[in-house]
Amino acid sequence: MNRKTSFFPTPLPDEHIVSTFTRFLRLSGKCNLSSGRNIITRDYRSLDSTTPWRVAYTDIYSVFKDTLSVEEFANRYTLWPFFRPFLNTEVQSNVIGMKWAPDAKKRFTLTSTVQNHSELCKSWRWCKECASSDYDHYGITYWHREHQLPSVLHCRHHRRTLNRQCPHCDQSIWDIYDLPLPSPDGVCRFCRQPMSDASSNSPLSEAVSDIEIMSVSALLNNNNSNLERTINKMRNLLSDLVHQRMSDLKISNKNARIQVNKEFRYFISNDSQIDRIFSRQGDKDYVSKHRTKDSLLHIAESTSGQSAISYIAALRFLMKEQDIPINDRIWDG
């Protein structure tokens, strides 16, 4: 236990560590992050939902360091297991090893390309029914990790669209400066109106449902001994599938490359829910599906630096094409 803290709440099932930190500050009588800075961490600006690893996490880890390794901590309480299989081993060990960048000014962190700040995933999201049942069970609501996955739009337990933005006042929870937790009664914390609307239960397309299964599976199946195998298996699978598809086309290599990229772009843009996962934050930097980075071959051929969402979408597209079953154990080495 860190000397400055005499207590720290135990994370609740699948709770994101930033959520536990929020509860800690509330229990310590703080009303915002700024009044609570220096207690555990000074890295409190824009603590958003999808950052795989940052200085604040390293600081909060100090509370757990007698009982967990950094990797166990990251696997249990952050979105690290979702991002990790898509990073090369050097990047992984720099980030999780909490190494310093060569200029020694800051620790290694991940670029936004890897995190894929899509329009959907920068705000904290929650399921109204989970919040209500958490409130009944634990007397408090909290931010679930699996609801923060950038490629997950629905709660898999209640099959409903996650709450993100209030339909009345358009507000969403971008950072946790004021220590917000999900509302237990479904009421917007800004305008006090009920947040659920008719779109709460919009049906899932099959492709989005598969991508959500694959994403949650990446988050939950984090057996470290299989790490290398899982990564290689995933990369080899992607590469094999691309080449299989290209040879199936029975046309010249150049034309086959153009064709598979075209098919993948169609797969993304033809499904409005997948298209939403891929659209980037803000109108100005919205990147169309046609940029090279989102091309299937670019995703399959780069060794690192592609977003987890891109890899997962590419795999879904090709696994379906090859009739490979998608289940919740695909990442298990």
Contacts with Zn ion, residue ranges (CB under 5 A): 127, 129-130, 155, 157-158, 166, 168-169, 188, 190-191
Q: Which is nearer to Zn ion, 193 or 247 (CB)?
A: 193
87: tokens are 């990073």
Q: Which is nearer to Zn ion, 155 or 238 (CB)?
A: 155
Give the contacts of 235 (CB within 8 A, at least 6 positions apart). Answer: none
CB of 171 to Zn ion, least distance (A): 5
CB of 147 to Zn ion, least distance (A): 8
CB of 130 to Zn ion, least distance (A): 3
Q: Which is nearer to Zn ion, 127 or 299 (CB)?
A: 127
CB atoms within 10 A of CB 319: 18
Q: Which is nearer to Zn ion, 84 or 128 (CB)?
A: 128
C-alpha count within 13 angstroms, C-beta hemisphere, residue 51: 20
CB of 13 to Zn ion, least distance (A): 12
CB atoms within 10 A of CB 64: 19
Q: Which is nearer to Zn ion, 116 or 151 (CB)?
A: 151
CB of 46 to Zn ion, least distance (A): 21
Q: How far apart are CA 82 and CA 192, in angstroms?
A: 34
CB of 190 to Zn ion, least distance (A): 5
C-alpha count within 13 angstroms, C-beta hemisphere, residue 28: 22
Q: Which is nearer to Zn ion, 74 or 166 (CB)?
A: 166
Residue type, 332: D
Output the CA–CA distances (angstroms, integers) from residue 297 to 20, 86, 315, in the order listed: 40, 15, 12
DSSP element (H, E) containing 244: helix 227-248
Q: How far apart are CA 66 and CA 252, in angstroms?
A: 59
CB of 79 to Zn ion, least distance (A): 18
Of the candidates 138, 140, 163, 136, the one whose C-alpha atom is nearest the C-alpha of residue 152 is 163
Q: How far apart are CA 179 and CA 55, in angstroms?
A: 18
CB of 208 to Zn ion, least distance (A): 16
> CB–CB of 78/99 below 8 Å?
no
C-alpha count within 13 angstroms, C-beta hemisphere, residue 17: 27
Q: Which is nearer to Zn ion, 166 or 296 (CB)?
A: 166
Residue type, 62: S
Q: Which is nearer to Zn ion, 191 or 251 (CB)?
A: 191
- Phi, psi of 20, deg, nearest 5: -65, -40
Of the candidates 159, 136, 149, the one whose C-alpha atom is nearest the C-alpha of residue 309 is 149
